[in-house]
Amino acid sequence: MKISEPVKKALMEGLRILAIAVVAGVILVGGAYVAEADLSPEWVSVWGVVVLLLKAIDKYLHELGKEKESDSLVRGLTRF
* In contact, 9 and 51? CB cutoff 8 Å: no
Would you say residue 8 has pLDDT above 80?
A: yes
Would you say residue 80 has pLDDT above 70?
A: no
pLDDT of residue 35: 75
Contacts of 74 (CB under 8 A, 6+ apart): 62, 65, 66
pLDDT of residue 63: 84
pLDDT digits 0-9 by tens, 22-74:
888 888 788 777 777 777 777 777 778 888 888 888 888 888 888 888 888 88
Domain locations in the chain as residue ranges = 16-74
Nearest to 50 by CA among 25, 80, 76: 25
Average pLDDT over residues 4-22: 83
* In contact, 61 and 76? CB cutoff 8 Å: yes
Biggest alpha carbon–alpha carbon distance for the chain: 49
